[in-house]
Amino acid sequence: MPRNKHIRIMFMGTPEFAEEVLRSVYSKEGCEVCAVVTRPDKPAGRGMKMLSSPVKIFALEHDIPVYQPATLKDGRFIDVLDEIKPELIIVAAYGNILPEYVIEYPEYGCINAHGSLLPKYRGAAPMQRALMEGEKVTGITAMYMDKGLDTGDMILKLECPVTDEDDFGTIHDKLAALGGKAMCDVIDMIWKGEVPREKQNDSESTYASKIEKSETYLDFTRPADEIFNKIRGLSPAPCAATTNADGTLLKIIKARKSERKDTEKYLPGEVVETDMKGDGYFTVRCGDGFIDVTFVQPQGKRAMSSADYLRGRKIVTGQILGEK
In a domain, 50, yes or no: yes
In a domain, 140, yes or no: yes
The alpha carbon of 123 is separated from its chain's Cα centroid by a whole number of angstroms, namely 11
What pLDDT shows up at residue 245?
85
The residue out of 204, 225, 251 marking a domain boundary is: 204
Sign of CA dihedral 21, 197, 35, 115: negative
- 22-72 pLDDT, tens digit per residue, is 999 999 999 999 999 999 998 876 777 889 999 999 999 999 999 999 999
User: How many CB atoms within 10 Å of residue 323?
Assistant: 13
In a domain, 320, yes or no: no
- 132-167 pLDDT, tens digit per residue, is 999 999 999 999 999 889 999 999 999 999 999 999
Q: Count up the domains in the chain and report the number.
A: 2
- H helix or E strand, kind and range, residue 17: helix 16-27
Residue 46 DSSP label: T
In a domain, 237, yes or no: yes
What pLDDT shows up at residue 124?
94
For 134-172, b/e burial (b = at least 16 CB within 10 A) is ebeebbbbbbbbbeeebbbbbbbbbebebeeebbbebbb
Question: What crossing angle do the helices spanning 168-192 and 16-27 adopt, rounded to 10°?
Answer: 30
Asked if residue 220 and residue 195 are part of one domain, the reply reads: no
AA identity, residue 163 = T
Asked if residue 129 and residue 24 are part of one domain, the reply reads: yes
Cα separation, 4 vs 30, in Å, equals: 8
AA identity, residue 40 = P
Radius of gyration of the chain (CA): 23
- 266-309 pLDDT, tens digit per residue, is 999 999 999 999 989 999 999 999 999 999 999 999 999 999 99
User: How many CB atoms within 10 Å of residue 200?
Assistant: 19
Task: Read off the CATH number of the domain in which 91 is found.
Answer: 3.40.50.170
Please say whether the beta carbons of 39 and 94 come within 8 A.
yes
Asked if residue 186 and residue 281 are part of one domain, the reply reads: no
- 194-241 pLDDT, tens digit per residue, is 999 999 999 999 999 999 999 999 999 999 999 999 999 999 999 999
Cα separation, 92 vs 77, in Å, equals: 19
| Global model pTM greater than 0.75 | yes
Mean pLDDT of 113-122: 98
Q: Taking 80 as the threshold, does the pLDDT of residue 16 lie above it?
A: yes
In a domain, 86, yes or no: yes
Asked if residue 243 and residue 160 are part of one domain, the reply reads: no
Cα separation, 81 vs 110, in Å, equals: 13
The residue out of 204, 228, 255 marking a domain boundary is: 204
Write out the residue range of the structural domain in which residue 258 sits: 213-313
> Cα angle at 13 between 125 and 164, to 5 degrees?
35
Asked if residue 275 and residue 131 are part of one domain, the reply reads: no
Asked if residue 81 and residue 200 are part of one domain, the reply reads: yes
Cα separation, 1 vs 306, in Å, equals: 57
Task: Read off the CATH number of the domain in which 241 is found.
Answer: 3.10.25.10
In a domain, 318, yes or no: no
Higher per-residue pLDDT: 157 or 247: 157
Could you tell me what percentage of the chain is helix, strand and coil, using 3-state DSSP and rounding each to the nearest 5? 30, 25, 45
| Closest to 250 in 3D by CA, of 196, 300, 188 | 300
Cα separation, 232 vs 134, in Å, equals: 10
Asked if residue 243 and residue 107 are part of one domain, the reply reads: no
Asked if residue 219 and residue 197 are part of one domain, the reply reads: no
In a domain, 129, yes or no: yes
What pLDDT shows up at residue 50?
85
User: How many CB atoms within 10 Å of residue 195?
Assistant: 19
The residue out of 150, 175, 204 marking a domain boundary is: 204
Among 8-12, 90-94, 109-113, 260-264, the minimum mean pLDDT is found in 260-264
What pLDDT shows up at residue 4?
59
The percentage of the chain sitting over the pLDDT mark of 90, rounded to a whole number, equals 89
Mean pLDDT of 3-29: 93
In total, the chain counts a number of residues equal to 324
Asked if residue 102 and residue 7 are part of one domain, the reply reads: yes
Cα separation, 292 vs 306, in Å, equals: 10
Asked if residue 219 and residue 192 are part of one domain, the reply reads: no
Higher per-residue pLDDT: 324 or 52: 52
Asked if residue 197 and residue 161 are part of one domain, the reply reads: yes
Asked if residue 194 and residue 93 are part of one domain, the reply reads: yes
Cα separation, 84 vs 93, in Å, equals: 21
Cα separation, 131 vs 148, in Å, equals: 24
What pLDDT shows up at residue 208?
97
Cα separation, 138 vs 252, in Å, equals: 24
In a domain, 11, yes or no: yes
